[in-house]
Chains A and B, each alone.
Chain A
Amino acid sequence: MRRRIGIDVGGTNTDAVLLEDDRVLHAIKTPTTADVLTGVRLALQDVARAMGPQGVQAVMIGTTHFVNAVVQRRDLAPVGALRIGMPASQSLPPFCDWPEDLAALVRGQVHMVEGGFDYDGRPIMPLDEAAVAAAARAMKAAGIACVAVSGIFSPLDPAMEDRAEAIIRDVMPDAAITLSHDLGRIGLLERENVGLLNACLAPLARHTVQAFEEALRQAGIAAPLYITQNDGTVIRAELAARFPVLSFASGPTNSMRGAAFLTGLKDALVVDVGGTTSDIGALKAGFPREANAIVQVGGVRTLFRMPDLLSIGLGGGSHVAQQDGRITIGPRSVGFRLPELARIFGGPQLTTSDIAVRAGLLALGDASRVGDVTPRFAQAVLAEAARMLEESVDRMKTDAAAVPLLAVGGGAFLVPDRLPGVSEVLRPAHAAVANAVGAAIAQVSGEADQVFQGMTRIEAMAEAERIARARAEEAGADGATLALVDIEDLPIAYLPGGAIRVRARVVGEIAASG
């Protein structure tokens, strides 16, 4: 028997569930508090009462706290950036493509030293260790406590970043040091940006994770704490305190994973219909398919492992209009002001919720206030919503066969029971706390993304999988349960010797206790 607590700290609500195997034993929704931690403590105490003396094996928390700090430009520490790669890359120093307001807060010092690797593993230059030490002394003198180290082709060979860390650690024993190869893929600027973001969040992350642990103690829960990551897996809390950027986008991921769990389906599409948008994602082997593109966070280009989501302007609060006989829905929405602006609440704006009430799909507000809407018009609006969903569902599909669609979120009434290309529409119970359920069921992952040379394609893919497995175990996974969930290879133009870039990802259950 496995019992876990899952918590999702969102912008509006803090949700918590107690899960026993595949059953939701208890669920609670509380408002998120300004200090975040009070809400978590209240939710934990509530669940702890329901838990009884048996206890739980693990507590998983998903939070948007760190990404909000970047977006809102608060609680960020100044960072000393050290790039290893000179004389290459000289004209584009760290922070070169950051929004100026954010750079002004985070850019403590910038140092660029000789070193780095070529694609084939030869050093561009030997690492200039004296320059690294000098940079460390300068950062220490300025009172900088957070350092981000990035080296050219470090995902291929992390040796120089590791060596630089040791040199800095000698000078600044207490510094929070982020190494880019721990976080990113090929693409120096994007990987470095992730490292810089991570470093500037280090004090906040340490403080937040300590507070979560304190909340656990106060609730009398002895189980280990994990934090959910962008990709639907978790890392141990102490690791999350070092890598806050890995927990940036866990909300939608947890919601999709929770929906999958509640229905028992591993390959499906998920539509989360909120007040303003519908987010559609694809589950593959129980995990969200990842986006392959540049992701901007707070105006900074990154290559995060983020779910591939398609957002369309269709939600429960979307404006409904008719022009020249054509019905339009959204993208404007009354959003959280639905109880004030929608017709069913006496407001002036016709919304999709009004239409759903008129069509008998939803019991909300005062149905008599939409009596003037003709049934024919209501059906036409619902048909338009269905068309919008159909198009997006088709876009997110990965093959021609019909797939199940899991509908969650407050606006899920807009999803019709039948859609072309969809085998069935499922509306799971507890859909309102799907995100906390998603946190509770999270697994541990490991990833590799490297250029391999002088190997056959099969050998390169096996090596990538081996690296991914080692990383998963380091992150707290039970090695025996690890399974390969994604592998892809990309031969590299112009490079001789059959150079091939391989990405591999494995996931597994959390090891018994560590």
Chain B
Amino acid sequence: MREITLDEIEALAVGAWVLGTGGGGSPYLGLLNMRRLYADGRRVSLMDPDELADDDMVAVVSNMGAPLVGQERLVDSANIARAVTLMEEYLGKPFRAIMSVEIGGNNGVQPFLAAAELDRPVVDADAMGRAYPEAQMTSFAVGDLKPWPLSLVDPRGIEGIVAKVPTWKWMERLSRKMCVEVGSIAATCKAPRTGAEVKRWGILRTTTQAIKLGQAIRLAQKEHRDPVQAILESEKGLLLFRGKVADIARRTTEGFLRGTAKLDGLDEWRGQGFELAFQNEWAVGWQDGVPRVMTPDLICVLDTVSGEAIGTETLRYGQRVTVVALPAPSVFLSPRGLDFVGPRAFGYDLDFRSVFAGAAA
């Protein structure tokens, strides 16, 4: 266990936004909370998963809802902390540590907010290794771990518990309804995990991964080196395509932002086209009509010059972007993992083929 510096949290915010693969919301508001908490003298320690005893209880937190609502209601460390203590009251026992359900986007920073308020360590792990739109798209669901209970908090003094559900899909449906009812934004503490479960089914050391990624990007920017190259080196990623956004179509269906983006190639891709489909996050990419990359491989669309990640909500016509792929956590590559987060889970009738399978050969 070691204390995390504010500079590392700044880097975490940069790295988590890239791992958000187009979704997850900007970590900026969480970062502002951390700057305030650190200025107040609070400090957070990061705990390696191996330091957890098998029977330690771990809180799994996430800020749930629409990123656009978050831009108005903002992010408050007291809410996510209350979701954790509410769950402790319900369970009648304390949590040893706190972790994020998803490292990608705003939720990559959320456990630090609760940890700073409650003086607990953050576990260096998550359950997605990126951002995904739905509650059942986690390594814990792949591991068939218990999906209940869940606590949900709104600052008006609204506190809810989903005591029991038969499946992860039911948890998604019920918690989504509650979240919408309180304004499409809510602090949640998901089904608690034991230390043994985290070590077996968590995606381990993703907080460190996001910090290192953010540090690499920030260093490259500072030294005027190519930040895209820094991301590829830091994450052993693959450069897939460089181009200019030629079209972007978005629509809302079943409460999610879905759509497609078309890119016209530049440099060695001049004359070629790339098409991306998304459900909050980037899901599948086709090059000249042929499937090139698909979930669970991480698809990141980056500003070609700054290396900053670009979200599915903010991508716009004419931007110069670079598409890269980063390797998926192995838990999602099993047939059962692909049932939860493979292309068919997003409605694409494609057999998953990792873009890294060819590269390794």
Contact = CB atoms under 8 A, between A and B. Distances in A.
Interface of A: 85, 87-92, 96-97, 118-120, 122, 124-125, 152-153, 186-189, 292-293, 395-398, 400, 451, 490-496, 498-501
A493 B68 contact: yes
Closest 10 CB pairs of A and B: A491-B252, A493-B257, A494-B66, A118-B183, A89-B74, A87-B155, A91-B76, A187-B71, A88-B73, A188-B72
Given A88-B155, A118-B183, A124-B156, A495 B74 contact: no
A444 B190 CA distance: 52
A92 B32 contact: yes
Nearest to A87: B155
Interface in B156-182: 156-157, 176, 179-180
Contacts of A495: 66, 68-69, 180, 184, 252, 255
A225 B108 CA distance: 52
Contacts of B143: none
A492 B255 CA distance: 8
Interface in B53-97: 65-69, 71-78
Given A89-B76, A188-B72, A490-B250, A496 B180 contact: yes
Contacts of A501: 68
A187 B320 CA distance: 25
13 contacts: A87-B157, A91-B76, A96-B36, A119-B66, A119-B72, A186-B72, A189-B74, A396-B318, A493-B68, A494-B179, A494-B184, A494-B257, A495-B68
Contacts of A87: 155-157
A501 B71 CA distance: 14
B313 A496 contact: no
Contact of B252 (A89, A90, A187, A492): A492
Contacts of A498: 252
A107 B176 CA distance: 39
A240 B73 CA distance: 30
Interface in B1-60: 23, 29, 32-33, 36
Interface of B: 23, 29, 32-33, 36, 65-69, 71-78, 155-157, 176, 179-180, 183-184, 244, 250-252, 255-257, 264, 280, 313-314, 316-318, 320
Contacts of B176: 494
Contacts of B179: 494
Given A490-B250, A493-B68, A92 B316 contact: no
Given A152-B72, A395-B318, A491-B250, A91 B77 contact: yes
Contacts of A88: 73-74, 76, 155-156
Which of A398, A451, A491 is the most central at the interface, judged by chain B CB atoms within 10 Å of its CB?
A491
Which of A189, A397, A493, A500 is the most central at the interface, judged by chain B CB atoms within 10 Å of its CB?
A493
A141 to B, nearest CB: 28
Contacts of B313: 490, 493
B36 A92 contact: yes
A118 B29 CA distance: 18
B75 A152 contact: no
Contacts of A292: 314, 316
A395 B320 contact: yes
A398 B73 contact: no
A433 to B, nearest CB: 30
A92 B68 CA distance: 17
Nearest to B33: A91
